[in-house]
């Protein structure tokens, strides 16, 4: 995929605005970069004090911050131990084409001890992409070689940010490659690329009709 641009912006991340809160006085520990240290339940190093959002140094996304705020409030007020599984959190870069991802990359899966099995298909295999005349992009599916459970999906396409939600549901539900294949998809849609990637674990998609189950 080739992307043309007039200028390139290198975004190096955000800096937490915690320096003037006096957290050290309360005994709340910070990292070297000023992030608030928390456990997976968002409780800080001081029992009874919680932190949520970008100050916790995890995923600096609005959606994550909102979810963490709700979880921190629930844990604080109800004494629960809720947390976020960040492997299930999708994220996207709104370039043209878009880039979206959820779950583990192939390298991350290997580091966690998975025997990895991966497939890549191009958007040229997706009827909807052909119909609208925009076949830019690829989709990579990462699965455990033994269980065939889907571990990650990574997409480049004109609407990757919309497509990634189906993959997030698959990871959240612990679906396997077979589960995705057995699910009836709407035709023609860009999201069919996820099913085609699953089918490519068993077939050469270059020799398959788009409509064969």
> Do the Cβ atoms of 114 and 149 come closer than 8 Å?
no
> In the predicted model, is pLDDT for residue 189 greater than 70?
yes
Name the pTM for this structure. Answer: 0.86
Domain positions in the chain: 1-84, 88-207
Fold equal for 1-84 and 88-207: no
> In the predicted model, is pLDDT for residue 213 greater than 70?
no
Contacts of 132 (CB under 8 A, 6+ apart): 158
For the domain bounded by 88-207, which CATH number is listed? 3.30.390.30
Q: What is the DSSP string of 115-153?
A: -EEEEEEEGGG-HHHHHHT----EEEEEEETTT-BEEEE
Confidence (pLDDT) at 12: 74
Q: Which CATH architecture has domain 1-84?
A: 3-Layer(bba) Sandwich (3.50)
Q: 57: phi > 0 → left, psi -120 to 50 → alpha, else beta; which? A: left
Residue-wise pLDDT tens digits, 129-151: 999 999 999 999 999 999 999 99
> In the predicted model, is pLDDT for residue 208 greater than 80?
no
């Amino acid at each position: 995929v080739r992307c043309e641009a007039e200028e390139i912006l290198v975004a190096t991340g955000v800096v937490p605005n915690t320096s003037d809160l006096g957290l050290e006085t309360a005994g709340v520990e910070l990292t070297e970069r000023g992030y608030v240290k928390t456990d997976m339940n968002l409780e800080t190093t001081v029992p009874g004090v919680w932190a949520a959002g970008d100050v916790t140094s995890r995923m600096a996304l609005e959606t994550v911050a909102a979810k963490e705020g709700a979880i921190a409030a629930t844990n604080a007020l109800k004494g629960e131990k809720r947390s976020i599984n960040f492997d299930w959190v999708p994220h996207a870069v709104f370039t043209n084409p878009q880039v979206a991802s959820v779950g583990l990359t192939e390298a991350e899966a290997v580091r966690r001890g998975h025997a990895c099995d991966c497939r890549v298909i191009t958007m040229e295999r997706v009827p909807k992409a052909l119909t609208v005349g925009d076949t830019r992009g690829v989709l990579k599916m990462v699965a455990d070689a033994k269980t065939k459970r889907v571990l990650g999906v990574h997409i480049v396409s004109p609407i990757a940010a919309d497509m990634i939600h189906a993959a997030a549901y698959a990871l959240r539900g612990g679906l396997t490659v077979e589960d995705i294949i057995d699910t009836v998809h709407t035709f023609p849609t860009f999201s069919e690329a996820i099913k085609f990637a699953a089918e490519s674990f068993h077939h050469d998609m270059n020799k398959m009709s788009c409509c064969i189950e």
